[in-house]
Amino acid sequence: MSINNNDRLIFALDVPEVSRAKELVVELGDSVSFYKIGMELMMTGDYFSLLDWLVENDKKVFVDLKLFDVPATVSKAVKRLSQRGAYFTTIHGNQSMMEAAAAEKGNLKVLAVTALTSLDQGDLDDMGFKCDVEELVISRAKRALSSGCDGIVASGLELDHIRSEVDQKLLIVTPGIRPVENRPTDDQKRVVSVEQAFERGADYIVVGRPIQNADSPREAAEKIQASIAATL
């Protein structure tokens, strides 16, 4: 699958209001062509108007709501979403849920979440998973592929093993990107740099705070785009 390098950076619009999201999109201009919108914006009541606005402005949209419900409900939700012009969406469930989503995805690309980058081994132990993070991620990746999903969301720490054990056609979107050293107050625990993510096999990266909190978000995005181009 051919991917435009400029599309490989997905900016996470993790802001409380749609008006602020639009301000950031305008400020970033052509430095970012792909945006992720998640649960915080969903709670505003204007989520789908923002999705439509982004599509109308020729932006790709990653609807990150981590759908999790009975398979029939998931399939209906994915079918409706496929008609809105979104590019990616996420599912966070077992194989039957993934299969249901894949059956109704149309042109929408479905990504299975492997293990959230805010979780480490201690968190998985607390949740009752009787395997290490890497084993869980590989298992989820293989199930996603066999279910008809287009790709997965996975930490850069597991990319080498995913690429060696799972078909190369599986798309990998990697969050938890930190261009600088991770800070103690950051809730992301399994992180990598821009360069590490692509060197290890990511197709896309998701970046939020390192751009949003920069003195100049556009300059920060442009630096990341330059790093992507140099790495690839």
Number of H helices, E strands in the chain: 11, 8
Q: Could you give the CA distance from residue 51 to residue 66 in angstroms, rounded to a whole number? A: 16
Contact assessment for residue 104 and residue 79, using Cβ atoms and an 8 Å cutoff: yes
Q: What's 88's DSSP letter? A: E
Residue 223 annotated in active site:
no
Residues 6+ apart with CB under 8 A from 155: 114, 115, 117, 133, 137, 174, 175, 176, 190, 191, 192
Q: Which residue out of 36, 59, 60, 66 is catalytically annotated?
A: 66
Report the DSSP beta bridge partners of residue 152.
112, 172
State how far the alpha carbon of 153 is from the alpha carbons of 62, 138, 140, 172, in Å. Answer: 12, 12, 10, 6
Q: How far apart are the first and last CA of the chain?
A: 15
| Active site (catalytic) residues | 66
